[in-house]
Chains A and B, each alone.
Chain A
Amino acid sequence: MRILVCVKRVPLTGGKIVLTEDAQAIETRHLGFTISPHEECGVEEAVRLVEAHGGESVVLTIGPPETVEQLRDAMALGIDRALHLVSDGEEWDPQATASAIVDAIRADEVTNGPFDLVFFGNESADTGNYQVGIRVAFALGRPVATGLKGVSLDGESVRCEQEVSGGRDVYVLPLPAVVTVLEGLNLPRYPSVPAKLRAQRKPVETSSPARPAARLEKVELEVPEGQGKEAAILGHGPEAAPAVVELLRQIGVA
């Protein structure tokens, strides 16, 4: 069993998003970074599948040199090795991203054979483009199920569960396949200190693909209006309870 997980480095935005002066990016000088949440569950699921069925798990990212931090995080959770497509730090549009990932998958598969499963997050936390996994699957000629909260292997197929209104829809895909997952698929483990140390020694293979011109071209970013409200203070401490109940009554819920 060979499993690939594609992840994206995103900032931990905290309570308020602040943009750079040219409105091209989020000001991240004072922010930490993380693996985008849906993908963190993809990492955990890949590790669990390899623990259960044997084989190899690989993590892939496109990002500036610092993104190696997220690759180490994934390897601390149990991923075996990493592929880092080192970028110039500019944003890659979804088509460029998918195309670079397809090239990297093909190159790895020439040497090591096909990935039985490729995991993506359903959408990244930051740009939310909802398409890279589908584009990669199409280019590779593999089936793809999206927005999954359940992934289980059954011989040569993968059972995929998608939450819908009233229950879960089930898809059964033949392997090799591509899946895009959602947070809630599992509860990712906390890495142990020895696991973090081991991750430092795991192999990271780098390449530097060229960035094609964007066909979905960002012009600028804007923080929407709506923040900066002044909350009406109903009171301090438990003495505020009658005012709260009065409010609930006015709204018609008490």
Chain B
Amino acid sequence: MVIVYVEERGELTQQTLAFARGLGEPLHAFVAGEPVPISGVEVLHVAEGDAFFAHAPAAIAQGLVELVDRLSPSAVVAAGTARGNEVLAHVAAKLDLPFAANCTNAEAGEPFLVTRVRWGGSLLEEAKMHAPVKVVTVQPHSVAAEEEAGGDPTIERFTPALSDGDLVVRVSERVAAAAGGVSLAEAKVVVSCGRGAGSPEGFGIIEELAGLLGGAVGCSRAVTMAGWRPHTDQVGQTGTKIAPDIYIACGISGATQHMAGCKGAKAILAVNTDPEAPILASADYAVIGDLHEVVPAISAELRKARA
């Protein structure tokens, strides 16, 4: 049996179920708090109790640990989200088991083999897991989601026995974000620039083009480290992962750290003076030229077309 930790209904859960089904064993699901509508699993285990009204990673993990002790699954699987990775790391720590985060593939057997991402997806690792129970998370969007189908699962409720330590870390407050412009992560168009902007003011032409296209402004890590733009504008492995219809990258060389953040773009247009820049090996389209001339020309052309 394989136990799948489910945070919420949705695309990532269907991807995680597809991955877990590939291990070739019956599936059970686990949720903390309230049942989540889910299909394609035999049993849905629901951990109940006051502890689960707010996110409490160690308490959720303790619920999973109780299930592992009771059911002896061969694997525990979750989505490789911030919280999926957090909860399964707690499970692995509590049970003294290895944990493989952000896997794109697993081959059940002896040895148990996983393929997992490194460098935010710029590199893959093949690894063996030496453990009686395999604890793994699934790299988002690396596996095709399965359809929601099949009968409703049997629901089994239980109240995990929690220690004081499990209850110390829980969300005590949610501070709402200030309403702002277009969110970088969800923008249909992202226009970004690197150090080639020359100065914080150099982003004026980038903001103008992004504004004309109803998009968001992005930047490279070098720009945030220079203090020119806030970190919330940074596209990359340690910044925001974007998935626009088109990513217009101006004066961006294409460091792996940056490209790990824009892999999800449907199309990439690079504006660069250097026809040999690494980004041209990942871009779909390119304009060879100085961004200070090319970007205002695109904005002017857009205005002209709309006039």
Decide yes or no whether A201 CB sits under 8 A from chain B: no
Q: Name B's interface SS.
A: mixed
Within 8 A of B (CB), among A222-247: 222-224, 226-229, 231-245, 247
Given A219-B128, A231-B286, A244-B287, answer yes or no on A167-B176 (Cβ-Cβ < 8 Å).
yes
Say whether B93 contacts A134, CB under 8 Å: yes
Say whether A14 contacts B256, CB under 8 Å: yes
Say whether B101 contacts A130, CB under 8 Å: yes
For A167, list chain B residues within 8 Å (CB): 174-177
Given A128-B117, A240-B287, A254-B213, answer yes or no on A170-B175 (Cβ-Cβ < 8 Å).
yes
Say whether A129 contacts B99, CB under 8 Å: yes
In the assembled complex, the Cα of A88 lies from the Cα of B41 at a distance in Å of 46
Decide yes or no whether B162 CB sits under 8 A from chain A: no
Decide yes or no whether A221 CB sits under 8 A from chain B: yes
Say whether B169 contacts A125, CB under 8 Å: no
Say whether B171 contacts A187, CB under 8 Å: no
In the assembled complex, the Cα of A191 lies from the Cα of B257 at a distance in Å of 23
In the assembled complex, the Cα of A40 lies from the Cα of B295 at a distance in Å of 34
Among B253, B275, B288, B296, the one with the most A-chain Cβ atoms within 10 Å of its Cβ is B288
**Hey, what's the 0/1 contact readout for A192-226 against B, CB within 8 Å counting as 1?**
00000000000000000000011111111111101
Decide yes or no whether B126 CB sits under 8 A from chain A: yes
Say whether B284 contacts A229, CB under 8 Å: yes
Decide yes or no whether B60 CB sits under 8 A from chain A: no
Say whether A127 contacts B285, CB under 8 Å: no
Name B residues whose Cβ lies closer than 8 Å to a Cβ of A.
Answer: 55, 57-58, 82, 85-86, 89-90, 92-94, 96-102, 113, 117-131, 137, 165, 168-177, 188-189, 213-215, 221, 224-225, 227, 231-232, 234, 237-239, 245-246, 253-257, 263, 266-267, 269-270, 275, 277-290, 293-294, 296-298, 300-302, 305
